[in-house]
Amino acid sequence: MSQTAWQVQNVWFGIGISVLFFGFYYLVAFLAQRFTRTEEDLFLAGRSIGPIVNSLAAASTWMSVATFLGVVALIQQLHMPFVYMWLQLILSVPLLVLFYGALLWRLNVFTSVSFLRIRYGQAVAYLASAWMMLILLMYMIGQYIGIAKVFEVLLGLPYLPSLIVSALVITGYITIGGMKGATYNDAIQMVIMMITFVVPLAAILKAMGATGYWFPPLGYGSMTDVMLQKIPTFFDPKFDPRFYLALFVALTLGILGLPQLAQRVFTSSSLKAARRAVPWFCVWVGMMFSATYAMGFAGVVHFANRGETLSREAADKTTLLLNLAYNPEWVSGFVIVGVLAAGVSTIAGLLIGAASIAAHDIVGMIKPDMPERKKLNWGYVALACTGIISLIVSLNPPAFLITSIFWAFGLSATAVTPMIILGVWSTRINKWGAFGGSILAGALYIVLSPYVFPSLAVGKGLIANLGYAAALITVPTGFVLTILLSLLAELAMRSRASALLRETQDLLERMHGWPTVTRARYNGVLWLLVLCVLWVPVLIWGLQPW
C-alpha cells in the first residue's frame, strides 16, 4: 500500500480547516487571558472549573493522537489482548481522585509535587520533579512528533517545517491562555474528537452492513461471525496471567503518579465538583474508547475481507483508510481536525503540568517569597520555555526519549506512585523512605529496561519494551523499600522521626477532613507490613524468565 492511499487529496481543504480550528483555539485563549491575573489563575484556572467542563477537559487531556491512530493499529496486530490493555486506562481519574486527588484539593496545592514538598520536604520534591519532568518530556515529545507526522503523512507536508510550525503554534496558544484557556479549549476539543470520530464511524459501520451502526460504540455485533470466520482467535486472551497482572502493576498504578491529570482535579471549583467530574469523565472516555475498539474491529474485518495484511505503517492510518474507503473525502478533513485536537489537548495538559512544576514548585523552592506579579511572569516564561525546549528536543530526540509512553508509566508506578499513595494514607512513611525507595527503585527500572543497558534487560520483545517485565520487579521493590526504609529510619533516628511524625499526623488528619486532630489515625504499621508481604509473590513472579 503506497503512502498516497491514506493521503487526503485536497490538501488545501485539510490545511484550511486546521487553520480555522487553531484560530478558534487562539480566540478562546485570548478571552481566557483577560481573566488571568495570578499564578493560581495561570496554572489552576483560579480553581473555578465545574464538573462537566473539567471532565471533558480531563478526558481530552487523556486522549492522545494514539486514540485515533495507534490504538486502532494495535488492535489489528494484537487483537483482544490490546483491548484488555486499553480498557483499564479509564481508571486514571477515578483512582486518582479516590486515592488522593480529592484529599489534595483540600490542601490547596498546585501540583502533586507541591504536596510532596509539604509532606516530605525539598529533597523528595526535587527528586519527584526530576522523575515527573522526564515522564512529561517523553510524553510531550511523542505528541509533538505525532502531530507533525499527521501533517506529513495525511496531508503530504514536509515533516520538519510541520514539526516546528505546529509546536510553536500550540505552545503559543497554551502560553497565552494558561490553564483557563487550555481547560475550555480542551473541553471543546473533546467534543470535536467525539463528533469527528464517532459520526464518521457510524457511516463506516452502516456501509459495512453493521445493523447497530446508529450506536457505533456497541453497534458492530452483527460483524462477529465474519470476524470469527476470518480470524478465529481474535477474541482469545492469548497472553498468560502474568501479562495481565503487569497491566495493573505498570499501567494502573503508573497512571496514579501522572501530574497532569492530578492538576486537572485541583482546578475544580469545589471538592464536590472534583468528585462529580469523575463519572462524567468515565462517560466521555468510555464512549471514545469503545468507539476506538469499534474502529479497530471494523478495520480488521475490512482488510481481512479484502485479503490484505497491513504493514505497521499502514495500520497506523486505519482510521483514515476506512474513512477514505467509505466516506466522502471531505469527512477525512474533519477526522484530521479530530486527530489534531487529540494531540494538542494532551500537549496542553503536559505543558501546563511541566511548567507548573518548574515555575511554581522548583522556582518556588529556590525563591519562596516572590511577589505575585513576578510569580505570574515566571509562569508565562516557564510555559513558553517548556514548549520551546520540548520542540528543540523533538527535532533530534535521543532514542530513549521516544520509547513507548507505557514505559514511562512503568517508571511512574515505580518511582512516583508509592511516595504519593503511601504518603497520603500513612503517617509512618517519612522523607528517608520516600527518597530512598524512589531513587533506588527508579534507578533499577532504568537499568532493567531494554533502552539503556540492553544486556541487563529482563524479558524481551513487546513485554520488555513496554516496561511490563521490569515493572513486575521494580514496582514491588519501590513499595517495599519505601515502607521498610521509613520504618528503619524511624528506629534509627527516634527523636527526629518523632517530631516529623507529629507534623505528619497533623497534616494527614486535616487533609482527610477531620475537624480535630487526634494523632491516632493513619498510624498503623501492620497494614504496611502486610502490603510488603503481598508484593513478595509479585516480585518472585516478576523475577522468573518471561
Partner 1 sequence: MDTYRKEIVHTLLFFFLYLLVSHTAVWALVFGIDNGNRVLGFPLHYFAAIALAWFGVVGVAIWWNVWADRLDAEITSSQQEVTHAESVPGDSVLAASAKGD
Give the residue with the Cβ less far from partner 1, 149 or 360: 360
Amino acid identity of residue 258, one-letter, is L
How far apart (Å, rounded) are the C-alpha atoms in residues 453 and 463? 16
Q: Is 309 in the site for partner 1 (CB under 8 A)?
A: no
Helix (H, G, I), strand (E, B) or coil at 49: strand
Interaction pattern, residues 154-193, with partner 1; x per rule: CB under 8 A? ----------------------------------------
Give the residue with the Cβ less far from partner 1, 318 or 505: 505
Find the binder of partner 1 among 3, 9, 10, 108 (CB under 8 A).
Answer: 108
How far apart (Å, rounded) are the C-alpha atoms in residues 18 and 23? 9
Task: Tally Cβ neighbours within 10 Å of residue 257.
Answer: 27
- Least separation in angstroms between residue 436's CB and partner 1 is 22
Distance of CA 240 to the CA centre of its chain: 26
Find the binder of partner 1 among 269, 286, 393, 404 (CB under 8 A).
Answer: 286
Residues 325-354 that bind partner 1 (CB under 8 A): none
Side-chain half-sphere of 264: how many Cα atoms within 13 Å? 36
* Count of residues that interact with partner 1, criterion CB under 8 A: 70
Q: Which stretch binds partner 1 (CB under 8 A): 189-197, 215-223, 326-334, 437-445?
A: 215-223
Task: Tally Cβ neighbours within 10 Å of residue 491.
Answer: 8
Interaction pattern, residues 356-385, with partner 1; x per rule: CB under 8 A? --------x---------------------
Contact 268, 54 (CB under 8 A): yes
Q: Is 271 in the site for partner 1 (CB under 8 A)?
A: yes
Exposure letters 274-294 (e unless 16+ CB within 10 A, then b): bbbbbebbbebbebbbbbbbb
Find the binder of partner 1 among 152, 316, 490, 509 (CB under 8 A).
Answer: 509
- Least separation in angstroms between residue 250's CB and partner 1 is 13
CA angle 314, 315, 317 (to 5 degrees): 70
Exposure letters 125-139 (e unless 16+ CB within 10 A, then b): bbbbbbbbbbbbbbb
How far apart (Å, rounded) are the C-alpha atoms in residues 413 and 475? 6
Segment (H or E) for 73: helix 70-78
How far apart (Å, rounded) are the C-alpha atoms in residues 296 and 289? 11
- Least separation in angstroms between residue 224's CB and partner 1 is 5
Find the binder of partner 1 among 12, 235, 330, 453 (CB under 8 A).
Answer: 235
Q: Which residues, including other chains, have CB under 8 Å from residue 386's CB and lie 6 or more apart?
A: 171, 351, 354, 355, 358
Give the residue with the Cβ less far from partner 1, 494 or 521: 521
Give the residue with the Cβ less far from partner 1, 225 or 306: 225
- Least separation in angstroms between residue 527's CB and partner 1 is 8
Q: Is 389 in the site for partner 1 (CB under 8 A)?
A: no
Q: Which stretch binds partner 1 (CB under 8 A): 2-10, 247-255, 259-267, 373-381?
A: 247-255
- Least separation in angstroms between residue 455's CB and partner 1 is 32
Q: Is 80 in the site for partner 1 (CB under 8 A)?
A: yes
Q: Which stretch binds partner 1 (CB under 8 A): 232-240, 392-400, 470-478, 483-491?
A: 232-240
Q: Is 229 in the site for partner 1 (CB under 8 A)?
A: no
Give the residue with the Cβ less far from partner 1, 330 or 514: 514
Q: Is 117 in the site for partner 1 (CB under 8 A)?
A: yes
Contact 199, 323 (CB under 8 A): no
Q: Which residues, including other chains, have CB under 8 Å from residue 176's CB and lie 6 or more apart?
A: 26, 29, 30, 32, 33
**3-state SS, one letter per residue, for 200-239:** HHHHHHHHCCCCCCCCHHHCCHHHHHHHHHHCCCCCCCCC
Q: Is 263 in the site for partner 1 (CB under 8 A)?
A: no
Find the binder of partner 1 among 20, 160, 168, 283 (CB under 8 A).
Answer: 283
CA angle 342, 70, 306 (to 5 degrees): 125
Query: Residues interacting with partner 1, by CB under 8 A?
Result: 80-81, 83-84, 87-88, 90-91, 94-95, 98-99, 102, 106-110, 114, 117-118, 211-212, 217-218, 220-224, 228, 235-237, 241, 244, 247-248, 252, 271-272, 275-276, 278-279, 281-283, 286-287, 289-290, 293, 364, 425, 506-507, 509-521
